[in-house]
Amino acid sequence: MVPASARNARPAAMGPMSSVAILIVSAGRGERFGGGLPKQYRLLAGQPVLRRTIQALSGIANGLIHVVVNPDHLENYNTATAGLELPEPVLGGATRQESVRYGLESLTAMSPDFVLIHDAARPLISHALIARILSALEGGASAAIPMVAVADTLRRQAADGSWSLVPRDGVWRAQTPQGFHFAEILNAHRQFKAVPVTDDMALAEAASLTITRVDGEESNMKITTQDDLVIAERLLAGGFEFRTGSGFDVHRFKEGDHVWLCGVRIAHSHALEGHSDADAGLHALTDAILGAIGAGDIGQHFPPTDDRWRNASSDRFLAHAMSLLRAAGGQFVHGDVTLICERPKIGPHREAMRTRMAEILGVSIGRISVKATTTEGLGFTGRREGLAAESLVTVKMPI
Ligand code: MG
């Protein structure tokens, strides 16, 4: 039995933990976004940008999150943060600089060792980046600023229209969160409140604090335009989304001694009537793939009026749909085919069908399913006038 006091004690090796406050600046009006709802309240993959930012920062170094909001947007703020446990928001000022200062002033009673000042419009902030900033501060840095290199060539246009090259050497893009010792940055904000700046690093410089650069992240992008929202959604989704397509097909029985179903030749008392080999299973699966990628239907790609497809083996239809899927950058995740008929019996051929379809698609057999059912003697399949097939396909597509 371990005494309660020993269980609660922090391991000696860790040393005392510094206290951290996180200030999220969400007071902007988002004018560059084109009016209307400010960007921090827009939906990013179904969630307000600000909510995603708060959630990305929660659980960091036991840091308490404080949000500075525009007094005009309190209703938006309440909707965006519903259900989250947060202290009352701090009301912002006329400029970002003023809003940050109000936020810092609100933390004076708590007086944390460090403060991370972050823009609400950077929802893709990672814990790894935060760890680098905190580690720099713990290591003695006064101001730890994430920065990324500039890859593009920079050019400046003069008033007369002429262009000049801006040397890229030593040029960095500063991101947030910017990490500071609380007392130092609060003093800088108080001392230089009349000097207009666009970020807190500028005040740290004005106060002659030493700036330490930490590696920023390209994914820690600032959402400023509609295009940024699209890029951020791609990053959040890992760049992919899942889509589903369905297919359905019917063929009538005629005289004959075999049918083709799901790419397998099956001896039977009848054959199936059709322009091609009448393989309803492959036709339904082909249509399901075409449906998932929005590429029309099988009749559009292989018109029954075209003599090239007379008696054609349907595996080429399926292979064509698969090539369209691949050309669109997609992956075949899963396909399910249901055959609806009284006869022939499907069970004995199920594995051969799965094997053949997996072969045509170039996927593993585990990604293909074949099921069979009857309609209990009802309807055209019950009367054995024909058979039907339906299919569902799931694909993974780049967004
Ligand atoms: Mg057909």
By three-state DSSP, how is residue 59 classified?
A: coil
What distance in angstroms lies between residue 281's CA and the mean position of ligand 1's atoms? 8
193 conformational bin, left if phi > 0, alpha if psi -120 to 50, beta if neither: alpha
Measured between its terminal Cα atoms, the distance across the chain in Å is 55
What distance in angstroms lies between residue 283's CA and the mean position of ligand 1's atoms? 5
What distance in angstroms lies between residue 377's CA and the mean position of ligand 1's atoms? 22
Classify strands 211-215 and 143-149 as parallel, antiparallel or unpaired: parallel
Rounded distance, CA 202 to CA 209, Å?
10
Containing 295, the helix (H) or strand (E) segment is none
What distance in angstroms lies between residue 278's CA and the mean position of ligand 1's atoms? 5
pLDDT confidence of residue 329: 81
What are 250's strand-pairing partners?
A: 388
By three-state DSSP, how is residue 399 classified?
A: coil
Rounded distance, CA 392 to CA 29, Å?
46
What distance in angstroms lies between residue 290's CA and the mean position of ligand 1's atoms? 14
What distance in angstroms lies between residue 398's CA and the mean position of ligand 1's atoms? 30
What distance in angstroms lies between residue 309's CA and the mean position of ligand 1's atoms? 12
What distance in angstroms lies between residue 276's CA and the mean position of ligand 1's atoms? 8
What distance in angstroms lies between residue 280's CA and the mean position of ligand 1's atoms? 5
For 283, counting Cβ atoms within 10 Å of its Cβ (0-12 exposed, 13-18 middle, 19+ buried), the class is buried
What distance in angstroms lies between residue 397's CA and the mean position of ligand 1's atoms? 26
Structure tokens at 356: 């053949």
What distance in angstroms lies between residue 365's CA and the mean position of ligand 1's atoms? 23
What distance in angstroms lies between residue 78's CA and the mean position of ligand 1's atoms? 55
What distance in angstroms lies between residue 329's CA and the mean position of ligand 1's atoms? 27
Q: CB–CB of 25/117 below 8 Å? A: yes
The one-character DSSP state at 238 is: T
Rounded distance, CA 3 to CA 6, Å?
5
Four-CA torsion 83, 95, 107, 188, nearest 10 degrees: 150
For 113, counting Cβ atoms within 10 Å of its Cβ (0-12 exposed, 13-18 middle, 19+ buried), the class is middle
Rounded distance, CA 335 to CA 316, Å?
17
Any alpha helices (H) in 60-207, and if so which ranges? 74-80, 96-105, 127-138, 182-191, 200-206
pLDDT values of the chain reduced to their tens digit, one per residue, 399 residues: 333 333 333 333 333 578 999 999 998 876 655 667 888 999 998 889 999 999 899 877 677 899 999 999 999 999 999 988 899 999 999 999 999 999 999 999 999 999 999 999 999 999 889 999 999 999 999 999 999 999 899 999 999 999 999 998 899 999 999 999 999 999 999 999 999 998 999 999 999 999 999 999 999 999 988 899 999 998 888 878 899 999 999 999 999 999 999 999 999 999 999 989 999 999 999 999 999 999 999 999 998 888 888 888 999 999 999 999 988 888 999 999 999 999 999 999 999 999 999 999 989 999 999 999 999 999 999 999 999 999 999 999 887
Q: CB–CB of 107/87 below 8 Å? A: no
Farthest CA pair distance, the chain: 95
How many Cβ atoms sit within 10 Å of the Cβ of residue 80?
Answer: 25
Four-CA torsion 375, 379, 380, 382, nearest 10 degrees: 40
What distance in angstroms lies between residue 307's CA and the mean position of ligand 1's atoms? 15
What distance in angstroms lies between residue 327's CA and the mean position of ligand 1's atoms? 24
Instruction: Please provide the size of the chain in residues.
Output: 399
What distance in angstroms lies between residue 376's CA and the mean position of ligand 1's atoms? 23
What distance in angstroms lies between residue 367's CA and the mean position of ligand 1's atoms? 22
HSE-CB of 51 using CA atoms within 13 angstroms: 17
The two counts, helices (H) then strands (E), for the chain are 13, 19
What distance in angstroms lies between residue 250's CA and the mean position of ligand 1's atoms? 6
- Ordered by where they begin, the domains of the chain are 4-237 (3.90.550.10), 240-398 (3.30.1330.50)
Q: Look-up: residue for tokens 């827009």?
A: 42
What's this model's pTM, rounded to 2 decimal places? 0.65
Angle at Cα 207 formed by Cα 172 and Cα 99, nearest 5°?
A: 80
